[in-house]
Amino acid sequence: MTSAALALRRLPRPGADPDARPSLARLTGVELRKMADTRAGFWLLAAIGLGTVAAAVLMAALAEPAHQTLRGMLEVVVLPTAILLPVAGVLLVTAEWGQRTALATFALVPVRGRVLAAKAAAASLASVAAAALCLAAAAAGTAAAAPGVEGAWSLPAAQVGQLALYAVTGTLVGVGFGAVLLASAPAIVALFAVPITWGVVSAVAGIEDVARWADVDRGLAPLLEGPMSAVEWARAGTTLLVWMALPLAAGAWRISRAEIR
């Protein structure tokens, strides 16, 4: 049974309460199930989990002792999440349109902005869970590789919060691109190609100092490297404004006006 059908079963029946509508928490739960309902979504989430564990095992077995600290482990095991979780954000939005379930979804919840808000909330919760998995895998790898090494467990508390922020914002970038394009393949290509093109063009055009304020790699990478300076926070903020906030706003506008077929 699809998530839309499950939501339909749980909605108030006609005559019960004409003003009743599913809460945002219930919609978020439905959207969380949708992330793993399809084969693509399930295997993508599985790949994130398996990749995170595999990275921790390889670091514990093969890395130099200097990198087998909790901080060093974390910088590596987060890579599968950083690469694949934004794709999950894309699919969370575009699957509605590619599989033609948008009609059922918006029939159940006519206010389309609430659906997009539930998708953003579900993506954020999944991202926090992925960040927790990264931290647990890094801790397990550190315990296996360097349990008694002095300083191996040193990790600034701020970096834990920055890890969660990195995961959440990265996934919301994917949600934004998916909402703008409403098609999986173009959105995934744009998700990777547009930021890379931005970096290349800015270097060739000689505007690198200005462009770095909206460069995804350099703007958000400090979130994984430890406590950030005011300038690094400012760069991260402008980067997220360009690559997360603007696509989400444009995607909300498009979804609110898109014709459902």
Neighbours of 184 (CB within 10 A): 19
CA distance 234 to 240: 10
According to the model, what pLDDT value does residue 38 have?
85
pLDDT bracket for residue 17 (50, 70, 90) = low
According to the model, what pLDDT value does residue 141 have?
92
More confident residue, 151 or 133: 133
pTM of the model: 0.88
Token code pair at residue 237: 């903020």
pLDDT bracket for residue 94 (50, 70, 90) = very high
Q: Is the pLDDT of residue 114 over 80?
A: yes
Three-state DSSP at 256 gives helix
According to the model, what pLDDT value does residue 8 have?
44
DSSP, residue by residue, 180-232: HH-SHHHHHHHHHHHHHHHHHHHHHHT-HHHHGGG-HHHHHGGGGTSS--HHH
Q: Which residues of 214-235 are buried (b: 16+ CB within 10 A; e: fewer)?
A: bbbebbbbbbbeeebeeebeeb
Residues whose CB is less than 8 angstroms from the CB of residue 138 and which lie 6 or more positions away in sequence, other chains included: 56, 70, 73, 74, 77
Q: Is the pLDDT of residue 199 over 90?
A: no
Task: Tell me, rounded to whole angstroms, the distance of Cα 255 from its chain centroid.
Answer: 20
Average pLDDT over residues 49-78: 91
CA distance 78 to 84: 10
* Mean pLDDT over each residue of the chain, to the nearest integer: 87
Closest alpha carbon to 161 in 128, 137, 126: 128
Q: Is the pLDDT of residue 252 over 80?
A: yes
Three-state DSSP at 55 gives helix
Token code pair at residue 163: 């890890």
pLDDT bracket for residue 205 (50, 70, 90) = low
According to the model, what pLDDT value does residue 22 have?
85
